[in-house]
Amino acid sequence: FSLSEVARHTDSRNGVWTTYEDGVYDLTDFIEQHPGGKRMIMLAAGSRLDPYWNIHDFHKREDIVKILSEFRIGSLMKEEIKASTLLNLDDPYSTDPKRHPALTVFCNKPFLAEPPLGLLGHSLITPTEVFYIRNHMPVPLINKDGYKLEISAKGVSTKLTFEDLIQFKKRIVVATLQCAGNRCNEMAAVNREDFVDVGGGPATISTAQWGGVLLRDVLESVGITDSVVEREGYKHVRLEGLDQDLSGTKYEVSIPIHIAMSPTGDVMLAYEMNGKELPRDHGYPVRCLVPGVAGARSVKWLGRVSLSKQKSQSMWQQTAYKGVPPCANQKTVDLQAAEDINELPVTSVICHPEEGETLLREEEEVTISGYAWSGGGRGIVRVDVSLDGGKTWNTASLDGVKQPYGKAWAWSLWELTAPLPAHGDRMEIICKAVDSSFNVQPDTVAPIYNYRGYLCNAWHRVNVTLGEKPL
């Protein structure tokens, strides 16, 4: 096929065609199933898919390329292939910041990485350099001196500079952020062909001390009070970042108005992280911090806050970060009708020992440690640990910052020292947490499986070997 012929297929009537490398693909029957939404995939209708997959590099995974291959209808003419390759755009990620080499990287473009699991159990505050990173697009280059935050409501917009923001009363909040896809590798292990998440282990979660100003204070300063919210019928606050794709579409999600305006919710416009200005990867110069809620709602590089009667219409709100049942797949699910993921369920993870580690019998005992956290400000009241695959249980000791009931935004660390078994050469260690509403983790992944890999909070299991000290 020629590029001009591909360009004539841009709608469902004529067919939606695209090219990738040397192939031509008819995506007409797939556009409604696209996990990222119809609008995003239509950007490549009649043209090249390559530039968009360069923005979202995880598409180049073998399983996703295999899905694309099912829609191949032919190849570009040889002379067209050369012309097509000349159109390659400069790498939009070339100005991304350097990252710490200790991070485990799941995707480079956009960047998704987590710290080594062993680091998380050592400190209530995660070092900034190894705080997990989940970006959706290239990191924008922003000059703090020229930064302006737009606040929009009632058809009126107000723009605040960085200097304007720091005039408000400064607040300090210790809060854990967790990716909705934390532990999604455990769902991937179910090995269903419909699984499509970008990847992630049990460490896409971290805790920091955040400094900034309350969103409620800023909104009230421009006349947006509780009475105005009620009178105007506002239900949602839309949060738009300054990160964008090739089409100029910016990352945007929304949160319920009662979360944003809660006097006790601590929703913050943060400009400090662990006592220093925000790093670029974490939203410099200003990000929204929404404690107790999936990390996707804590929009980085915040550029616009607007009040609305409807949720954000962005792809990220309408088709991503949705809770779906185990029976759902790309072909059957109605993502727009599915519930948004906001507060996250109780979870816990063993940080030490790690999977496959060998414990020496001569030590006679083992110290098991990890983290536990629950969304919605629910604190951790107990962590139970088993050394025999769940037959018997012991209660771990808890360590954490003092937090008022209903405002437990930060995780708890836990630890248990127990004797090693006298017999056998293998152990299955399990942990499960209980939060202040007495929610408990499910024992397996099967009943909570979903093809996007979200909300994995099954009992965490680690298999270790018992061995002898080498002579």
> CATH number for the domain including 445?
2.60.40.650
Q: Scanning the structure block, which residue is given the tokens 């009475």?
A: 227
Q: Scanning the structure block, which residue is given the tokens 């954490």?
A: 400
Residue 84 has what pLDDT?
A: 54
Q: Is residue 324 a part of any domain in this protein?
A: no
pLDDT at 85 over 70: no
pLDDT at 442 over 80: yes
Q: Scanning the structure block, which residue is given the tokens 């437990």?
A: 408
pLDDT at 313 over 80: yes
The answer on 351 and 309 residing in a single domain is no
Q: Is residue 133 a part of any domain in this protein?
A: yes
The answer on 364 and 256 residing in a single domain is no
75 touches 24 (CB < 8 A):
yes
Active site residues: 34, 59, 134, 179, 321
The answer on 356 and 312 residing in a single domain is no
How many residues are present in the chain? 471
What tens digit of pLDDT does each residue of 190-242 get?
Answer: 877 778 766 789 999 999 999 999 999 999 999 999 999 999 999 999 999 99
pLDDT at 166 over 90: yes
* Count of CB atoms situated within 10 Å of the CB of 203: 25
Q: Is residue 399 a part of any domain in this protein?
A: yes
Q: How many domains does the chain have?
A: 3
The answer on 257 and 225 residing in a single domain is yes
The answer on 435 and 360 residing in a single domain is yes
- Provide the phi-psi class of 205: left if phi over 0, else alpha when psi is between -120 and 50, else beta: beta
Residue 86 has what pLDDT?
A: 47
The answer on 419 and 350 residing in a single domain is yes
What tens digit of pLDDT does each residue of 126-146 get?
Answer: 999 999 999 999 999 999 999
Look at 421 and 212; give whichever has higher pLDDT.
Answer: 212
Residue 51 has what pLDDT?
A: 74
27 touches 57 (CB < 8 A):
no
243 touches 138 (CB < 8 A):
yes
Q: Is residue 109 a part of any domain in this protein?
A: yes
Q: Is residue 341 a part of any domain in this protein?
A: no
Q: Scanning the structure block, which residue is given the tokens 């854990």?
A: 176
What tens digit of pLDDT does each residue of 377-407 get?
Answer: 999 999 999 999 999 999 999 998 889 999 9
Burial annotation 414-432 (CB, 10 A radius, 16+ → b, else e): bbbeeebeeeeeebebbbb
Local confidence band at 448 (pLDDT 50, 70, 90 cut-offs) = very high
Question: What's the predicted TM-score (pTM) here?
Answer: 0.84
Cα→Cα distances 235→230, 259, 287, Å? 9, 10, 21
The answer on 371 and 254 residing in a single domain is no
Q: What's 58's domain CATH number?
A: 3.10.120.10
CA atoms within 13 A on the CB side of 351: 24
pLDDT at 363 over 70: yes
The answer on 382 and 314 residing in a single domain is no
The answer on 262 and 355 residing in a single domain is no
The answer on 111 and 67 residing in a single domain is no
d(CA 414, CA 394): 12
Q: What's 308's domain CATH number?
A: 3.90.420.10
**Planar angle of CA 197, 97, 120, nearest 5 degrees:** 60
Please report, as a single letter, which amino acid is at residue 62. Answer: E
Cα→Cα distances 390→137, 385, 428, 439, 467, Å? 42, 8, 8, 18, 22
The answer on 419 and 306 residing in a single domain is no
**pLDDT (average), residues 97-119:** 93
Rg (alpha carbons) of the chain, rounded to whole number:
24
The answer on 287 and 175 residing in a single domain is yes
Q: Is residue 326 a part of any domain in this protein?
A: no
Q: Is residue 98 a part of any domain in this protein?
A: no
CB within 8 Å of 341: residues ≥ 6 apart: 180, 294, 296, 321, 322, 323, 454, 455
d(CA 311, CA 391): 46
Domain boundary among the residues 303, 319, 335 is at: 319
pLDDT at 36 over 70: no
Q: Is residue 96 a part of any domain in this protein?
A: no
Look at 256 and 48; give whichever has higher pLDDT.
Answer: 256
Q: φ, ψ for residue 176 (rounded to 5)? A: -95, 135
Which domain does 418 fall in, by range? 346-467
